[in-house]
Amino acid sequence: MHTAVYLLLLASVVLAVAGPRLTRGLAPATAARALTALILTAAAASTTGLIVLAVGGLSRTDEVLAFSHPDTAVLAADDPVPRRIGALAAVLILIVLVRLVVAVVRRVRSVRALAVVRRSPAAGDLIVVEAEEATAFALPGRPRRIVVSTGMLRALPAAERTVLLAHERAHLAHGHHRLQALAEAAAAVNPLLGGVREHLAFALERWADEEAATAVASRTLAARSLARAALASTSRASGPATALGYLHHRVAARVAALQGTRPVNRVSATLPAVVLTVLTAFALVDTDAALLRCLQALHP
């Protein structure tokens, strides 16, 4: 099998480790999109690499050779993969599939559990739940809802409630739950991407923070609303884990960012991420071509 597969696996590791650093210097919205592209590319790279290794290694086993009657000349032209490596890759693929199914089932169950909240009486897109804990989160789907506890409403003055609602509406308007779901699936496929997923979650919250600050035309007000909500909450969960909660993800860092100037994109900051993603994409194409040759050889 083609040696590019090993470069592909290495690229997935580099993307997982260096991905967050490659998006520094970007505005939150751009950073979130870039991190999503990086995490999906890394997940595709690692999965494709495992598939190619499994096919390359197992295609030379006696059982497969006897069953498929392959074109041995084409198989011999490819770089050989040790059978043990092929077997290990096959086992890892099975583990990946199990992890992905578990992640999907967990998310589906969470969404179904939140459907009960969605059916609660609403004022427009707002659902107010009776609870002392200060909590607020966005509930995507149809219809889209913003869930806020009475404890949160009592904790915030009217102007700061406007910030909170603008924050959660930004999550819904930009489909942040979709990026979150993609990141969860990618992290299930490649556990190394767990850290990148957390950076993406933070970028999504910062994106919504900036949208809220723009909506109320005051970064100071946005920072004050977030800080007051955090002080009023006795738990940093602020809603279900799969929901986009107001107090999720590094509140202190978000408040500090809002107290500074509005972030802008630096073109130079995007170049390393773009170059690495493009190179990985080329490796994916090359490896897929090698996989196709091997499959064609197995069924001439």
Per-position b or e across 207-231, b if 16+ CB within 10 A of its CB = bbbbbbbebbebbebbbbbbbbbbe
pLDDT tens by residue, the chain, 300 residues: 556 677 777 777 887 777 777 777 889 999 999 889 888 888 988 888 888 888 877 766 554 545 455 555 555 555 567 778 888 889 999 999 999 999 999 988 887 877 777 777 778 889 998 888 888 898 887 888 899 999 999 999 999 999 999 999 999 999 999 999 999 999 999 998 888 888 999 999 999 999 999 999 999 999 999 999 998 887 655 566 667 888 878 899 999 999 999 988 877 766 777 777 777 777 777 676 666 666 555 555
Contacts of 182 (CB under 8 A, 6+ apart): 36, 39, 40
Total structural domains within the chain: 1
d(CA 22, CA 38): 9
d(CA 100, CA 97): 5
d(CA 262, CA 282): 36
d(CA 69, CA 291): 17
d(CA 189, CA 197): 12
Contacts of 106 (CB under 8 A, 6+ apart): none
Where in the sequence is the domain holding 34, given as residue range(s)? Answer: 4-298
| 272 upstream amide cis, omega within 30 of 0 | no
d(CA 31, CA 176): 13
In this structure, are residues 93 and 54 in contact, taking their beta carbons and an 8 Å threshold?
A: yes
- Burial class from Cβ neighbours inside 10 Å (0-12, 13-18, 19+) for residue 164 reads buried
Q: What is the pLDDT of residue 148?
A: 92
